Amino acid sequence: DHIINTLRNQILHDKVNHAYLFTGTRGTGKTSTAKIFARAVNCPEAIHNNGNPCGQCAVCRQSGDANLDIIEMDAASNNGVDYARDIREKVQYPPVNGKYKVYIIDEVHMLSVGAFNALLKTLEEPPKHAMFILCTTEVHKIPQTILSRCMRFDFKLVSESELSALLLSVLGEIGVAAEEEAVKLITRSGEGSVRDMLTIADTCVSYCGERITYE
C-alpha cells in the first residue's frame, strides 16, 4: 500500500520521477505495478481519478504493440550493449499520444556491463519525456551508479490474510466454491507470492471443478 500511495501522490501532484527501480521477490507485483503506473502517467484523466488510469480514454485503450509510448523489454533475452544503445537513440523521440515514453525493463539485472554503461548515459541526462521503470528480483547485481539514479521501491511478500481475500475474490468471479481450510492451504502454499498462489489455485480448480475441498 505504501508503494501505491507514493506513486499515486506523484501523479496527483505532477511530480513523477524519470527512473524507478522495483525490486523484490517473485510474484509480488513489480511488473504489474509498472504497467499500471506507465498507463497512469499517460492518462489525461488520472489526476481526476485518484491517480488511476481511467481505462476509457484513447491512451488507456491502446495495448500491447499498439501502444507506442510504453515499451516493455526483457533484459534476460536482450542484454547486449547494442540493445541499450538502441534505447539511447530511440528515447530521444517524443511520445506519440501520452505525456511520457515509458521503458519497462524486466529482469534488468541480466544486462551486461556494457549495456549498463550505455543505459547509465541515458539515466544521467534523460529527456523530459522519458521514464524508465527497472524491475528485478536480484537488486544486488545492479551497479551502484544505476541504483543512485533511481527511486527505489522494495516489494515485500504478501500477507496470508491479503492473499486469502484475493483468492476468495478470484474464485467468486469464476463461480468456484472452496472450503475455508482449502483456501488457507492454497494461501500458505503460495508463500507470499500472488503469482504462485494463483498458479496453485488454477491447478486445484482444474482438478476439483466447481468446489475445492481441503482433501
pLDDT over 80 (residue 60):
yes
What sign does the CA torsion over 5, 42, 102, 158 have? Answer: positive
pLDDT band at 133 (very low <50, low <70, confident <90, very high): very high
Q: Which amino acid is at 148?
A: S
Predicted structure pTM score: 0.87
Q: pLDDT digits over 155-199, tens only?
A: 999 999 999 999 999 999 999 999 999 999 999 999 999 999 999
